[in-house]
Structure 1
Amino acid sequence: MAAGRSGIFLNGSYGVGKTSVLDHLGDRFAEAELPFALFDVDWFHRSWPVAEGDPRNVLVEAENLRAVWHNYQRSGPKTPIIAGVIETVQDQERYEECFGVELFVVHLTASPEVAAERLRGRYPAARNHALNWHLDNHQALAARLGDESPHDAVIDTDDMTPERVASVVFGTFTSRTCA
């Protein structure tokens, strides 16, 4: 597999396991000695106040992703592995432009009950406001992603560990890109 020609985007609503799978996917690439770089997009747009004319901070996020991706590439081509949310074809195009590669979009799903359990495990009592926001918005985002978002594969994570999901994504991606 030639690094730098395509990437993986783990897409899904809150609590489906994107960040956990991202970490395990990095382990799989490292074990296979395949060059990669991990990106959790939440850390590239989380700032306040937002820039004027960019209420979702997507333009700032894109600039930040480009800069870090450029730095990672200094040591050679890598496969970008990204966890975030792609709701529209335009979102996917923006990410592909940032990384300069075609993205293999994997839509991770989870039932409302499993997502809620995972979210409750993520947020301590002191962050109850964040927990409630994610619980209140999980279903609406999941519905939008199911109806509108582009994806190449769909994986239900309810009965799978993040490590197992990463193995499935890795196998599907490498068989696709090595073929």
Structure 2
Amino acid sequence: MTNGEFGIFLNGSYGVGKSSALEHLADLFAEAELPFSLFDVDWFHRSWPPASTDPQNVLTEADNIRAVWTNYRRTGPRTPIIAGVITQVEDLERYEQCFEIPLRIVHLTASPDVAERRLRGRYSPSQHRALAWHLDDHHRLTRELHQFTSHDLVLDTDHCTPAEVAALVVEEFAPQLHS
């Protein structure tokens, strides 16, 4: 691991604003001329069918992330900014192994009503199965996330725009990136 380097991991259940905040973080990092690379982990494991030896696609996801991170690192030092879900220490360890640096975890939360409203806005009527699955699983995942206590920052996104969430994350971590 490189001394002083770290990545920023936006952690949370569905509908809390991880992907939206990720985009705004990219804008703020670019404006501050801080080198970064974005990772929305959903795009690194979304394939079907999964391997019989990797039913949740977590090993495939890790291999894909590691390969892309290796490519980004060839262009020079940078901060990985990741949106995904970490519910247990094993998840954190797997991601830290992919990036070979420690990760600062930002737990984004939202009330059930706000998360549901956001999820309903994300899916079209033809995606009703995906919406129903995410609405149903949101509560389970939220409970698991509250049991995982290795968060460096917790932000309630109910009354914050994604840009405001990103600004709070930059305010918390950017000073450490300049040093």
TM-score normalised according to structure 1 size: 0.95
CA shift for structure 1 position 148 = 2.3
Counterpart residue identity of residue 103, structure 1: L
Q: Segments of 4+ in structure 1 off by > 2 A?
A: 175-179
In structure 2, the residue matched to 1:145 is 145
CA shift for structure 1 position 106 = 0.2
User: Could you tell me whether the CA contact under 8 Å between 1:86 and 1:149 is conserved in 2?
Assistant: no
Consecutive unaligned residues in structure 1, runs of 5 or more: none
Instruction: Give the 3 Å change call, closer, same or farther, for CA 132–149 of structure 1 in structure 2.
Output: farther
Query: How far apart in 2 are the matches of 1:88 and 1:149?
Result: 9
> What are the within-5 Å matches in structure 2 for residues 67-86 of structure 1?
67-86=67-86
In structure 2, the residue matched to 1:90 is 90
TM-score normalised according to structure 2 size: 0.95
Per-residue CA deviations over 1:135-174 (Å, capped at 9, x if unaligned) read 0111110111001252111000000000000000011012
In structure 2, the residue matched to 1:53 is 53
> What are the within-5 Å matches in structure 2 for residues 1-179 of structure 1?
5-178=5-178
Query: How far apart in 2 are the matches of 1:35 and 1:132?
Result: 38
Greater Cα offset, 162-171 or 143-152: 143-152
CA shift for structure 1 position 178 = 4.5
Query: How far apart in 2 are the matches of 1:93 and 1:107?
Result: 17
Greater Cα offset, 49-58 or 157-166: 49-58
Name the SS for the 2:23 alignment partner: helix
Counterpart residue identity of residue 9, structure 1: F
Counterpart residue identity of residue 138, structure 2: H
RMSD over aligned Cα, in angstroms?
Answer: 1.6
Name the SS for the 1:10 alignment partner: strand
Query: How far apart in 2 are the matches of 1:4 and 1:130?
Result: 40
Consecutive unaligned residues in structure 2, runs of 5 or more: none
Query: How far apart in 1 are the matches of 2:116 and 2:160?
Result: 16
Query: How far apart in 2 are the matches of 1:137 and 1:9?
Result: 21
CA shift for structure 1 position 88 = 0.6
Query: How far apart in 1 are the matches of 2:93 and 2:62?
Result: 11
